[in-house]
Amino acid sequence: MSVEVETVRAPALEMRGITKRYPGVLANDQIDLDVRPGEIHALLGENGAGKTTLMNVLYGLAKPDEGQILLDGVEVRIAGPADAIAQGINMVHQHFMLVPVFSVADNILLGEEVMRDPVFIDRAEAHRRIVELGRRFGFEIDPDARVGSLSVGWQQRVEILKALYRNARILVLDEPTAVLTPQETEEIFAVLRRLADAGHSIIFISHKLYEVLEIADRITVIRRGRVVGQRVPAETNEDELAELMVGREVQLTVDRGESHPADVRLSVEGLRVRDDRGTEVVRGVDLEIRAGEILGIAGVAGNGQDELVEAIVGLRPVASGRVSLDGIDVTGRSPRAINEAGVGYVPADRHRFGVVLSFPISDNLCLTSYHRAPFSRGIFRDEAAIESAAEERIREFDVRTPSAAAAANTLSGGNQQKLIVAREFSGETRLLVLDQPTRGLDVGSIEFIHRQAIAKRDAGSAIMLVSAELDEVLELSDRIAVMYRGRIVAVRDGRTADKNEVGLLMATGGEEREASQVSGPAA
Amino acid sequence: MIEVELPPGRFRPPELTRDSLRHLLRRTWASVALPFISILLALVVGAIVIVLSQLIVPGRRVDLTLPLAAYAALFQGALGSFDGLVRTLVASTPLVFGGLSVGLAFRAGLFNIGAQGQFLLGALAAVWVGVMLRDASPFIALPAALAAGMLAGAAWGFIPGFLKAVSGAHEVVTTIMLNYTAVSVIAWAVSEPLDQPGSASPITATVENAGLPILIGRTGHAGILLAIVAVVVVWWLLFKTTRGFEIRTVGANPDAARYAGMRPRFITVLTMAMAGALAGLAGAVVLLGVTRYMTASFGTTVGFDSIAVALLGRSHPVGIVFAALLFGAMRSGAPLMQIQAGIPAELVDVLQAMILLFLVANAVIRRVLKLRGVEAGLGTTETITRTYGAEAVR
């Protein structure tokens, strides 16, 4: 990259002294940010640091109280998202804004249709443009594919295409890799690099340090609404970035210590489970977890892990096979029966299953035990017991909230997850099922949850850890099982497993792949 | 869903510092602001309608103070005299039951449009049993007639609940169908098995001993007390019992309810049956306390007005009482308004509809008036959109 060119040209985007106040919060405090043409600029910060507010200001969703925005050196006003798009600023949200039942082409065209005449869309032309655009950035996309049938990685590419189709010069990606596998992440990085080479500027929001170091040209770190530092990847490292981000020294990898596996706690034999559409997605899983052991399940999202977990905790019917806990058959028992047998469950989709957002924290903390003493007496709720237990757990698990009576939707994502962990980890547990326990969380919360999991293991609980985050599985697990297309294709020792090998197994299923294609039913 | 009540479980003596007082006021404002503003805006629109309505009459001079005169008469008619007050209470009573019915269902994420049908069936069962026991002791006849109304309503609510639980049939569709069915059932029952021989048009006998005793004034029947009891029971069910917690959880997040070991299908059936029982009681109370007999055309719009009451009261028992009193007062004041100001009683329908419109369009109001810190939606309107939306996706 030529240094002279960069210094001569004005930054593609410059935000100067952006300040945004919300009642009681200074979300952005005099933030300066400049992004050069063709640069991948990472914005790093914990949840609630002010990254989202800053991007909302850029996208016209929030009006700054102070500060200026300059595009190519010219001050602009951005009235709203439509205005932002018109000025070449596009955002790819973490939760995709796609219509699943529409085709790729329809999603890209939506709102920006190419017309053949005043009535009909020129599909042929639209398809041509989309295919060409995809090719230019290194991927072949079928414009007729239904978005709902695409993998998450491809859906993200559709989002990026959507932005490019609208002539985006500045592309904001909000946690783009949170939902991707390591391989998909590599692929998307390749796309991003080509975009940058073609002169697009990219703002890459993340709190995954190693990714930021890998992809970014420059890194701006935000903490509590202020810019606390700017770094170039070559001159910094993960530890320094984490410290900047959190404001204190952080232990990035928790010392998992020695484990002392005892008797078999959970045993799963020949389990087969169907998904919502009736397709068999868990196709004969056998596994065992011992008390005092963490079994990590590595796998690309959508290989049957969620269904496996849901079947174990009783939320999904078992097609065939057996689940037993300490030798007692619990196959097909209700979620309540399994919970009462000492199984804690941290669900992957915390907003769907884990919390009732409109309820107070105290009610959420007794969500799975509201019907038992001390939280109920006969048909009545014991409000005093609910509240005092809640306050105790809030303290113990460091949930940051002014009061147990505050609604769960006032908590940040990390604190919501701590709330769920506080509920599921407390008391005597025999098995903990953790499905993506740290997805989307900041380093501080991840560290905390990992420590708690190790502590539970050492207290004799069996732990099943499902994560699309391969590093998390490698860091915590005593044993690692790789799940591919509904089967466990390999088991490795957690301390000696090779990251590349496990990643390859996740992506291809190893030798099992051919075997399953020969003998297994058509998927 | 919004929690209007203060956070539960505060048994520590509350310290009334300035801060906590301000916090309390803010919370209260957040939950009552929207209903309050909706009512005010509806009155404004009503005033405009009154002024404009004068233009229709040729040659009449437009009197800009007429809205004030009309509202004054409405107020006086509803609350200006002892009789008026009693009339207001009587008119509010079925709305309280009906509002509780719709509100309870909203809490469970269900939209009970069927309150009208449950109301009619409740009234029918009450008159049926009431006429059968008309000569029995009041201590037997009255409870039996009330129970019959309640059970009939419960059965009429159970059906859509059951259908939803076993087949996913949407309660909005099934309850509307059951409303029509209820009208037909009444027409048949009054003209065939219950028709009093010798009368010119289909009409039942009066319920006599099964009627609700008059306690205050000339029309203030004991149903008013029953309504108060119902409010307390529903409040207590919703917020003090584990069952109520299940109902609220299923309404707020059915997936989390399943995760928590609750049974959303069972709760759906149970809640619809309970909602039906409340609407059935509304019908029984009107029949046993006010009309005391039934004609083929029996039927008010209580069941439909109840939806507005529940929305205005934000599905909270206490809010529902206030909303029902407001709507009841407008009904009871309307005749005087018609006499004194010459404004048709139907203006009340306009007001009621406007209140509802503003409530449901709350996003617009909050934006236009730049209301900060006012609770976003009525959880209940979210229920409406969600129950429609969720089904449409499948």
Alpha-carbon distance of A95 to B31, in angstroms, equals 30
Total domains present in chain A = 3
pLDDT band at B8 (very low <50, low <70, confident <90, very high): very low
Report pLDDT for A515: 42
Alpha-carbon distance of B39 to A327, in angstroms, equals 63
Reply yes or no on whether the pLDDT at A23 is more than 50. yes
Reply yes or no on whether the pLDDT at A522 is more than 50. no
Report pLDDT for B1: 38
A33 with A177, same domain: the answer is yes
Chain A residues in contact with B249 by the CB 8 A cut-off are: 356, 359, 367
A326 with A362, same domain: the answer is no
A387 touches chain B (CB under 8 A): yes
Is residue B9, in this structure, part of any structural domain at all?
A: no
Average pLDDT score over residue span A27-43: 92
Q: Higher model confidence: residue A61 or residue A282?
A: A282
- In chain B, which residues touch A (CB < 8 A)? 1-3, 7-11, 240-245, 248-249, 252-253, 255-256, 258-261, 372-373, 379
Output the domain CATH number for residue A9. Answer: 3.40.50.300
Is residue A463, in this structure, part of any structural domain at all?
A: yes
Report pLDDT for B296: 82
Reply yes or no on whether the pLDDT at B361 is more than 90. no
pTM: 0.78
User: Which contiguous run of DSSP H or E holds residue A284?
Assistant: strand A280-290
A236 with A138, same domain: the answer is yes
Please identify which residue in the block is written with the tokens 């000339």. Answer: B218
Please identify which residue in the block is written with the tokens 């590595």. Answer: A298
Q: Higher model confidence: residue A307 or residue A209?
A: A307
A378 with A265, same domain: the answer is no
Angle made by CA atoms B228, B231, B236, in degrees to the nearest 5: 130
Please identify which residue in the block is written with the tokens 């939306």. Answer: B389
Which of A203, A231, A246 terminates a domain? The answer is A246
Query: Does the N-terminal peptide bond of residue A374 adopt cis geometry, omega within 30 degrees of 0?
Result: yes
Alpha-carbon distance of A163 to A245, in angstroms, equals 29
A93 with A166, same domain: the answer is yes
Report pLDDT for A127: 87
Q: For residue range B292-316, list pLDDT tens digits in order.
A: 988 888 877 888 899 999 999 989 9
Reply yes or no on whether the pLDDT at B13 is more than 70. no
Is residue A197, in this structure, part of any structural domain at all?
A: yes
Is residue B14, in this structure, part of any structural domain at all?
A: no
Average pLDDT score over residue span A250-272: 86
Report pLDDT for A5: 46
Give the residue numbers spanning the domain of B96: 90-314+367-393
Query: Which of A98-112, A113-127, A405-419 shows the lowest mean pLDDT across its residues?
Result: A113-127
Is residue B310, in this structure, part of any structural domain at all?
A: yes
A419 with A495, same domain: the answer is no
Total domains present in chain B = 1
Collect all residues with Cβ–Cβ distance below 8 Å to A178 and sequence separation of at least 6. Answer: A94, A439, A440
pLDDT band at B371 (very low <50, low <70, confident <90, very high): low
Is residue B222, in this structure, part of any structural domain at all?
A: yes
A181 touches chain B (CB under 8 A): no
Residue whose C-alpha is closest to residue B65's, from B46, B80, B79, B50: B50
A328-356 residues labelled b (16+ CB within 10 A) or e (exposed): eebbebebbebbeebbbbbbbebbebbbb
pLDDT band at B147 (very low <50, low <70, confident <90, very high): very high
Is residue B335, in this structure, part of any structural domain at all?
A: no
Tokens of A39: 């640069």
- Report how far Cα A173 is from the mean position of its chain's Cα atoms: 14
Report pLDDT for A514: 43
Q: For residue range B45-62, list pLDDT tens digits in order.
A: 999 999 888 888 777 778
SS3 of B127, please?
Answer: helix
Query: CB distance A367–B7 less than 8 Å?
Result: no
Cα dihedral sign, B86-B87-B90-B95: negative
Nearest CA in chain B to A334: B261
Which of A396, A426, A456 terminates a domain? The answer is A426
Report pLDDT for B386: 52
Quote the mean pLDDT of chain B. Answer: 86
A210 touches chain B (CB under 8 A): no
With a pLDDT cut of 70, the percent of chain B lying above it is: 89
Which of A246, A272, A300 terminates a domain? The answer is A246
Backbone angles phi, psi at A203, to 5 degrees: -105, 120
Q: For residue range A356-376, list pLDDT tens digits in order.
A: 998 999 999 999 999 988 899
Contact criterion met (CB below 8 Å) for B378 and B101: no
Chain A residues in contact with B3 by the CB 8 A cut-off are: 358-360, 407
Report pLDDT for A116: 77
A232 with A262, same domain: the answer is no
Nearest CA in chain A to B237: A380
Contact criterion met (CB below 8 Å) for B355 and B38: yes
pLDDT band at B372 (very low <50, low <70, confident <90, very high): low
A87 with A225, same domain: the answer is yes
Average pLDDT score over residue span A99-103: 87
Alpha-carbon distance of A418 to A395, in angstroms, equals 11
Alpha-carbon distance of A81 to A455, in angstroms, equals 46
Output the domain CATH number for residue B234. Answer: 1.10.3470
Report pLDDT for A351: 86
Average pLDDT score over residue span B328-350: 91
Reply yes or no on whether the pLDDT at A273 is more than 50. yes
Reply yes or no on whether the pLDDT at A513 is more than 60. no
Alpha-carbon distance of A137 to A200, in angstroms, equals 12
Q: Please provide the DSSP assignment of B324-370 as one string.
A: HHHHHHHHHHHHHHHHHH---TTHHHHHHHHHHHHHHTHHHHHHHTT
Tokens of A434: 């953790």
Is residue A347, in this structure, part of any structural domain at all?
A: no
Q: For residue range B156-186, list pLDDT tens digits in order.
A: 999 999 999 999 899 999 999 999 999 999 9
Report pLDDT for B364: 78
A282 with A159, same domain: the answer is no
A43 with A93, same domain: the answer is yes
Is residue A348, in this structure, part of any structural domain at all?
A: no
Collect all residues with Cβ–Cβ distance below 8 Å to B26 and sequence separation of at least 6. Answer: B373
Quote the mean pLDDT of chain A. Answer: 87
Average pLDDT score over residue span B66-90: 92
Nearest CA in chain B to A338: B261
Q: How far is A330 from chain B (nearest CA, A)?
A: 15
Reply yes or no on whether the pLDDT at A276 is more than 50. yes
Give the residue numbers spanning the domain of A383: 355-426
A356 touches chain B (CB under 8 A): yes
Angstrom CA distances, A365 to A73, A399, B260, stand at 51, 11, 11
Alpha-carbon distance of A356 to A365, in angstroms, equals 10
Give the nearest partner residue to B245 out of A352, A370, A405, using CB atoms.
A370
A416 with A511, same domain: the answer is no
Reply yes or no on whether the pLDDT at A463 is more than 90. yes
Report pLDDT for B369: 72
Is residue B101, in this structure, part of any structural domain at all?
A: yes
Is residue B237, in this structure, part of any structural domain at all?
A: yes
Reply yes or no on whether the pLDDT at B125 is more than 50. yes
Burial of residue B223 (CB within 10 Å: 0-12, 13-18, 19+) is buried
The size of the A-B interface in CB pairs under 8 A is 88
Chain A residues in contact with B10 by the CB 8 A cut-off are: 383, 387, 405
Tokens of A205: 């929001």
SS3 of A425, please?
Answer: helix
Report pLDDT for A307: 93
Alpha-carbon distance of A523 to A46, in angstroms, equals 40
Q: Higher model confidence: residue A343 or residue A23?
A: A343
Reply yes or no on whether the pLDDT at B10 is more than 70. no
pLDDT band at B9 (very low <50, low <70, confident <90, very high): very low
A422 with A307, same domain: the answer is no
Chain A residues in contact with B1 by the CB 8 A cut-off are: 358
Is residue B46, in this structure, part of any structural domain at all?
A: no
Report pLDDT for A227: 93
